[in-house]
Amino acid sequence: MVVKEDGSAVGTVTLLTLEELTERVGMSVRNVRFYTTKGLVPPPIRRGRSGYYSADHVARLELVRELQGHGFTLSAIEKYVAGIPAAASPEDIALHRTMLAPWMADVWEDCSRSELERRAGRPLAADDLATLEALGVLRPGARGRFRVSRSQLGVGLGLLDLGYPIEAARAAAEVYAAHGRAIAEELYELFRTKVWPVYKEQGVSPEKIQDVVERLKPLSIASLVQAYEAGMDETRRANIAKRAR
């Protein structure tokens, strides 16, 4: 059964029953009700004795599912959702969800320590594993196993063979994390204030917003790489000039 938000046949916003909502977002009735009691989604819209759900409910439940997929705990999800204004539109929430998605595709595989050592061609000490983790190549897994980046493992093992110090790996990880957060926040704010208002005025759908962000990701990554290379070249030239003086 589908009704309109104003309760008539001429309304403009389609509402969903609980059954239709669960099919749409791929969640059980129990989970939907649990997230409602936790305040992660608003209560259903009442029409007499029946409750219905709007695009806002769909967007917020999809965001919760996305956060779960990224390993967020319930407490972390609650804090994240609390930072989203109650008046946020489904398009605003869709933007949050899209920005969470990985910007570079990578394949992570499960690996034991013995398998890692076989690939490395030597035993790996605790410091070696810590260095690989700091480099973002390795993540601790369950029962003493590891999650390993298939595309970056060779690079990480090569750095280990060259004696790359763990202190440098940890310091670099802090630099990347700090500046990465700053860049992400500024890019999000730019999209929210410069791009989203234009699309909102045009009545663009959440799906198209997601498509736009996905198309921008490779361009953004390329721009960051170019800016990094230009910055490194400029820094090198400045250091050479300083030593020459």
pLDDT at 171: 92
pLDDT, tens only, 171-191 = 988 888 888 878 878 888 888
Q: How far apart are CA 194 and CA 222, in angstroms?
A: 21
pTM: 0.52
Residues of the chain with pLDDT under 70: 1-13, 101-106
pLDDT at 105: 58
Sign of the Cα torsion 69, 152, 141, 72 reads negative
pLDDT at 8: 37
pLDDT at 96: 77
pLDDT at 2: 43
Task: Write out the two tokens for 103.
Answer: 């910007």
